[in-house]
Structure 1
Amino acid sequence: WPGAESVLSLDMLAPVVVAADDWVFTSGYTLSYPGSRDALADWIEALPAGIPFVFDPTPVIADIPGSTLARVLARTTWLSCNMGEAAEIAGQGDVKALAARLLAGHCPKADGVVIRSAAKGCHVRLADGSVQTIPGFEVDALDTNGAGDAHIGAFVSALARGVQPFEAARYANAAAAISVTRHGGSSAPTDYEIQTFLSHAGGPQMGLHGRKQEVKRPTA
């Protein structure tokens, strides 16, 4: 239900000071409200050039005017969305085609796009043309509410620590997998929980600065 975020002005946003090492994230919900979308789009466009901007259009993407959406996408550094939202922006197609069209025709300044596919994992395409589909993790899901938020938050957290995008996507898949095993929308795990999950899943873990660490298991 629309709350305070549905009525914004540039004067209200003025106290939000962005520092040099900050990342900025916006969801489509605030951009869907007539009383907030213009001010928020103006504020996003005025962000310093070196500040990474992450955008999740969310399921309300159809309620965002095309002109507003285009303005925000033009400033997007990382776009994270599901298949339905990707198709709403770039038309129908398979995940590879959609990712390519999102970068080529809608997010000209982006470092990459992430298309989430729930339990299947996510597809990542970088501006340099590199592509990987990162598989998800098999868990017993209890509540999928908030899984996308957990995925985006973990992905940005990893990138901000210097983790490479494809490995950051695997870290985000683990975060989303953990979140769906818990009830409620506020179910994002801690870094320790994600690292523990990854250690049991096998393969490399990430160090504090994004370096891979091989998991050593005790011998029998």
Structure 2
Amino acid sequence: MPLISMRLAERRQRSSALQLISIRMLPGAGCALMLLVTAAAVAQRDSKERTCLMDYHKERHEREAYCHSDFAVNGIVHDVDSVGRDVQLLTVLVNSGGLYKMNRLYITPDGVFFRVRILVVNNPHCHQSCLHFSLGGRYIIMGQVYNKRMEVPTSIQQVISTHLRAGDGLVTSGRSFFRRFNRKKERKVLAAAHSKCK
């Protein structure tokens, strides 16, 4: 076979091989695109998780939390009802010494205690609950007192209208304060109660 004919034959074979490679690469390209989309979804989820963790670990000092809250109590979680996705309704038993700040907080006498109803709303983007209350646990809780003119996220409006009444407590992740009770934290809250808020 003449040299020119051999070179033409080689070029045709290479061209066919390139076409075959490009055809075979199409599914791979789809896979790569799918991997990119999956990576973007994972990055978005991780970003939301970081926001959740930042909300949870955003350390609010007792005084700052006290000054920005409508109510502050320390009490024992008597009852926990799950009333929606990422939403719980707590019944907390508080004695008279545990009512640090009330501001129209609705309380019901119950023997030597007072009952306080508090709606706990977690960040819906969190993989884990940022606000976790254990039944029988004693906590210092600070938050807002619900009223019907309060602006609330549309995702929980139905739950609130069904389970919350004016004067009940509202605790949301990133904006409220809750800690397991101990004497050191209580002293800080009492100091905040006797100091002036800016």
Q: Which interval holds the TM-score relative to the shorter structure? A: under 0.3
Q: Which has the higher contact order (CA 8 A, sep 6+)?
A: 2
Greater fraction of residues in strand: 2
Q: TM-score, normalised by structure 2?
A: 0.23
Q: TM-score, normalised by structure 1?
A: 0.22
